[in-house]
Amino acid sequence: MPSFVVALFLVAHGLVHASFARTPSDVMAGTSQWPFDLSRSWVLSPLGLGSRGCRAIGLGLLAVVIVGYVAAAVGALGIASALFVPGVVAGSIASIAMLVLFFHRWLVLGLAIDAALLWAVLANGWRP
């Protein structure tokens, strides 16, 4: 697979997470549940963390996801190849944390992508 395709995929996967930055009321008022919601977490909310706290944690994770996958994309292009593995690992772990903390059943594909990337890079030694 060409390196630019890998880089494009990594950036696209990271940027999909930016959907979490929008609030559900901004996007889908009156329609089915918006899956990208940082205002409540099935883990953090019962611990007493309000919507502002949940959102702050989620936005922090979002920043790590995007920076990690962009760094991995730069590495995939060979511009700074040493960034590929750390970028994939950081982006995938932050993504998994975000998707688990703010879980919605529509997000299972994202978890599968993150797990596959981690497996390919760490267990298989894959490099573009």
What pLDDT, in 10s, does the model give residues 56-93?
A: 999 999 999 999 999 999 999 999 999 999 999 999 99
Question: Strand ranges (DSSP E) for 1-128?
Answer: none
Question: Of 124, 120, 121, 63, nearest to 97 (Cα)?
Answer: 63
Answer with the residue of higher pLDDT: 19 or 80: 80
Answer with the residue of higher pLDDT: 52 or 36: 52
Confidence of residue 99 (pLDDT cuts 50, 70, 90): very high
Q: Which are the contacts of 75, defined by CB distance < 8 A and separation ≥ 6? A: 81, 82, 83, 84, 85, 87
Whether this prediction's pTM lies above 0.85 is answered by: yes
